[in-house]
């Protein structure tokens, strides 16, 4: 899976959970930057990402205020590790 596909999938997951168009989401956005993005939805986002990409993300990340760009990098790293 290439970087653009990963990014698009993550943006779509975030958009679906937050009920906003993924086209309006910016990579610099983070928790509380987007309406409805609270700690509960943050957890839902991570759980859905784990399910979609069949990866395990360290739960410490679930409670950090990460940018979408940071989340994408974490997912890319986990996918690379999974392939090894």
Give me the CATH number covering residue 61.
1.10.1200.10
The gap from C-alpha 19 to its chain's centroid, in whole angstroms, comes to 14
pTM equals 0.92
pLDDT of residue 83: 78
pLDDT per residue, tens digit, the chain (84 aa), is 799 999 999 999 999 999 999 999 999 998 889 989 998 999 999 999 999 999 999 999 888 889 999 999 999 999 998 876
| Helix residue ranges per DSSP H, 1-84 | 3-18, 39-53, 68-83
How far from 58 is each of 18, 62, 64, 67, 74, CA to CA, in Å? 22, 8, 11, 16, 10
> Bridge-partner residues for 30, per DSSP?
67
Considering its fold, how many domains does the chain have in total?
A: 1
CA distance 68 to 10: 8
pLDDT of residue 8: 97
Residue 71: which domain range?
3-83
Phi-psi region of 38 (alpha: psi -120 to 50; beta: other; left: phi over 0): beta
pLDDT of residue 25: 94
């Amino acid at each position: 899976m290439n970087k653009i596909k990963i990014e698009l999938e993550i943006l779509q997951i975030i958009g679906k959970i937050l009920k906003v168009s993924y086209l309006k989401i910016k990579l610099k956005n983070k928790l509380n930057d987007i309406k409805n993005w609270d700690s509960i939805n943050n957890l839902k986002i991570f759980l859905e990402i784990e399910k979609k990409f069949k990866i395990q993300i360290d739960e410490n990340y679930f409670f950090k205020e990460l940018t979408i760009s940071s989340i994408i990098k974490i997912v890319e790293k986990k996918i690379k590790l999974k392939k090894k």
